[in-house]
Amino acid sequence: MNEKELFQSVNFESPFKNDDRKKTNNDELTIIGSSTIIEGKENSKIVCGGDIEIMGQVKGLVDIAGSAEIYGMIDGLVNAEQLIVEEGSKINGDINCRTTLSINGAEIVGNIKAKNAYINASVKGDIAATNDLKIANNSIIEGNIATGSISIESGAVIAGNLSVKK
C-alpha cells in the first residue's frame, strides 16, 4: 500500500462534540484550543469568515461572520451572527450578536446587544434584545434591560431599569 492509499483508507472521526452542527455556507470551522492564549497589541483582532470555537484565552476584538461558541475567556468586543457562551466562560467586553445569543453559566462584564437572547449568567452591563429575552432563575443582571418581549424565571435578580417596547 502506497502513502496515498494509506491516507485514503484512514477513517477520521472528529474528537469535537459539536462537529455535526450546522456550519456557515463555507463549512469553515476555526478552533482555538484550551491551552492557547492569543494576546495581541492594542487594537488587535481575530476575524473569522466562518464559525469558531474558543476554548482558550483571547485579548482583543473577536469578529465572526458565522456562529461562535465560547468556552474560554475573552477580553474584548465580540461580534457574531450567532453566539453561545458556555459555563465557566468569561467575557470582559461588549457582545453584539446579529441573531440568537445563549449564555449559560458564564460571567459577562459588558453591554449585550442581540436579536434574541437567553441569559442564565452573571451580567454587569446593559442588555438590549430587539425581539425576545429570556432570563433564567440563576441569573444576576446588574444593568438596564430593553427588549421587545421578556420572560423572567423566579429567582433571577435584576438591578436596573426594564423597558419593554413592541
pLDDT in tens, 69-127: 999 999 999 999 999 999 999 999 999 999 999 999 999 999 999 999 999 999 999 99
pLDDT at residue 38 in the model: 78
Cα(107)–Cα(62) distance, rounded to whole angstroms? 17
Q: Tell whether 21 is covered by a domain.
A: no
C-beta of residue 133 within 8 angstroms of C-beta of residue 150: yes
Predicted confidence (pLDDT) per residue in 48-58, tens digit: 878 888 888 99
Split at pLDDT 50, 70, 90, the class of 13 is very low
Percent of all residues in the chain with a pLDDT value above 70, rounded to a whole number: 81
Q: Tell whether 11 is covered by a domain.
A: no
What is the span of the domain harbouring residue 90? 26-164
Q: Tell whether 40 is covered by a domain.
A: yes
Q: Tell whether 13 is covered by a domain.
A: no
Q: Tell whether 50 is covered by a domain.
A: yes
Report the candidate in 40, 32, 97, 43 with the shortest Cα–Cα distance to residue 71. 32
Report the candidate in 95, 144, 90 with the shortest Cα–Cα distance to residue 117. 95
* Letter string b/e over residues 59-71, b meaning 16 or more CB atoms within 10 A of that residue's CB: bbbbbbbbbbbbb
First CA to last CA across the chain, in angstroms?
67
Q: Tell whether 79 is covered by a domain.
A: yes
Cα(101)–Cα(86) distance, rounded to whole angstroms? 11
C-alpha cell read off for 119: 441569559
pLDDT at residue 150 in the model: 96
Q: Tell whether 10 is covered by a domain.
A: no
User: How many folded domains does the chain comprise?
Assistant: 1
C-alpha 56 chain-centroid distance? 13
Which of 32-41, 62-71, 110-119 bottoms out in mean pLDDT, i.e. has the lowest?
A: 32-41
C-beta of residue 166 within 8 angstroms of C-beta of residue 148: yes
Residue range 19-26: mean pLDDT, rounded? 44
Q: Tell whether 9 is covered by a domain.
A: no
C-beta of residue 114 within 8 angstroms of C-beta of residue 129: yes
pLDDT at residue 47 in the model: 81
User: How many residues in total does the chain contain?
Assistant: 166
